Amino acid sequence: MNCKEHHLPELELATGQVREALKAILHTILFIRSPGPVAPLDVHCENFNLTYSRIAGGSNGSSSGGSSSSSSARNKNNQNHYLDKKVDAGIEEFLNSLVQIGPELLSGCLTMSFFERRASKQLFGLVSHEEKIVWEQWIMHIVVNNTPRPVNDDSASIMERQRIQDTAEAMLSSVFFKIFRYASGTDDNATTRESKGSSCSVGSAGDNIEDKIGGSLDHIPPTMYEFEIRCSKRMDDRENVYSRVANMPTLLNLDGS
């Protein structure tokens, strides 16, 4: 099976922005790749003027639908808690894997993989084992900037804080835009490689998944599939320098020239 790789635009974030930004990105991907119909939950970011959709859990209130409705709500809450736990664990692993690339700068790479499990037999069917077949990966490069923000109330400090915030929001918005383009099949920059057998279950694909996000979904298996979030090796120095220069925001001219 071929594996599609989606390389998202590089993000440069302040230390206090990393967790929320990664949660927004990872939950958005999980929502658009959820097999079958799911209930959406809109989440407004605290550190960004952005709203994203994630898979909603069940209601905590009382239900008039009897025991079956209560059981369904409990299952949804358990799934929601499970997704949160896996996403949070992946983010913590990423933060612990950051490497220094310059003064006050750290870098890391996070990959979300979707895969299915296949049983295969060898030696005339006498020996069987299970393979993980990865069919899609979302690859994120993040630079963490630990440079202290200006805290004074003078105009230059206020403008610099606003520039930092606007730049982070613009970069995060470009990542969301890229995710939606990849998911809808309107972006041709996705790479494909041969997947080899080498986590958390999200169900079995329904017939209506293509109607939900559009685009070509031929690479998505019509069976139960799972996901995992892992840190991978960081990009090499040449790619790192090129990416940072290409994504460098316009310099702020304080003298008005």
* Rounded Cα distance, 134 and 5, in Å: 10
Is residue 10 over pLDDT 60?
A: yes
Q: What is the mean pLDDT of the chain?
A: 77
pLDDT at 183: 87
Average pLDDT over residues 82-110: 94
pLDDT at 39: 87
N- to C-terminal Cα distance for the chain?
56
* Rounded Cα distance, 36 and 207, in Å: 7
Please give the residue that has the higher pLDDT: either 188 or 253: 188
pLDDT at 222: 54
Is residue 73 over pLDDT 70?
A: no
Cα–Cα distances (Å) from 133 to 60, 128, 201, 203, in that order, read 37, 16, 14, 16
The runs of H, that is alpha helices, within the chain are 18-32, 66-96, 155-184, 209-213, 237-246
Please give the residue that has the higher pLDDT: either 197 or 50: 50
pLDDT at 29: 96
CB of 3 closer than 8 Å to CB of 172: no
pLDDT digits (tens, 9 = 90+) for 148-189: 888 899 999 999 999 999 999 999 999 999 999 998 877 666
pLDDT at 69: 59
pLDDT at 162: 93
Residue 10: DSSP 8-state: P
pLDDT at 192: 67
Q: Is the dihedral of CA 4, 167, 177, 228 positive or negative?
A: positive
